[in-house]
């Protein structure tokens, strides 16, 4: 199939397919009359690439995944990516907690609020945010 047909079947722009070809995420097809002629399995391979990109894999990780395919490779790569995602989840929860506290804050200025938040001890890997509602009792 031509790159145009592959583009229609996968929903990916031709430029993206050419980019993935340069990045060795899809094999370079033979040319017939100066046109790329892709095999039918290119559709499935591009579906894997697209899913991996949407899941947050880097191009290098996808390349390893496709080129070193095997149960152990999938498992190691999946375990590594899952650990990264869980760490990101923790950071996002901490960020959301901080932003929520800042939105609820009644402190008169940032320095007072910062001192209140700074008094809270944080656990490794999971910063905690003070539950203060403002420091109105502190002297001006």
More confident residue, 122 or 112: 112
Expressed as residue numbers, the domain containing 65 is 3-100
Q: What is the pLDDT of residue 116?
A: 66
3-state secondary structure of 49: helix
Assigned domain for 89 exists: yes
Is 4 within 8 Å of 17 (Cβ atoms)? no
Closest CA to 132 of 95, 99, 107, 96: 107
Assigned domain for 105 exists: no
Assigned domain for 72 exists: yes
pTM: 0.57
Assigned domain for 122 exists: no
Q: How many domains in the chain?
A: 1
pLDDT of 62 > 80? The answer is yes
Q: Report the C-alpha gap between 80 and 35 in whole angstroms.
A: 39
pLDDT of 79 > 90? The answer is no
DSSP element (H, E) containing 90: helix 71-104
* Size of the chain in residues: 140
Is 62 within 8 Å of 52 (Cβ atoms)? yes
Domain CATH for 20? 1.10.1660.10
Assigned domain for 57 exists: yes
């Amino acid at each position: 199939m031509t790159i145009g047909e592959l583009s229609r079947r996968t929903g990916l722009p031709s430029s993206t397919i050419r980019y993935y070809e340069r990045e060795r995420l899809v094999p370079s097809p033979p040319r017939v009359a100066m046109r790329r002629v892709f095999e039918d399995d290119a559709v499935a391979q591009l579906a894997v690439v697209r899913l991996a990109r949407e899941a947050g894999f880097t191009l290098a990780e996808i390349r390893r995944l496709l080129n070193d395919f095997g149960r152990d490779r999938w498992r190691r790569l999946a375990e590594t990516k899952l650990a990264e995602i869980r760490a990101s989840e923790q950071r996002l929860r901490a960020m959301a907690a901080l932003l929520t506290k800042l939105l609820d804050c009644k402190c008169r200025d940032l320095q007072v609020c910062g001192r209140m938040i700074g008094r809270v001890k944080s656990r490794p890997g999971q910063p905690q945010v003070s539950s203060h509602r403002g420091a109105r009792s502190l002297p001006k």
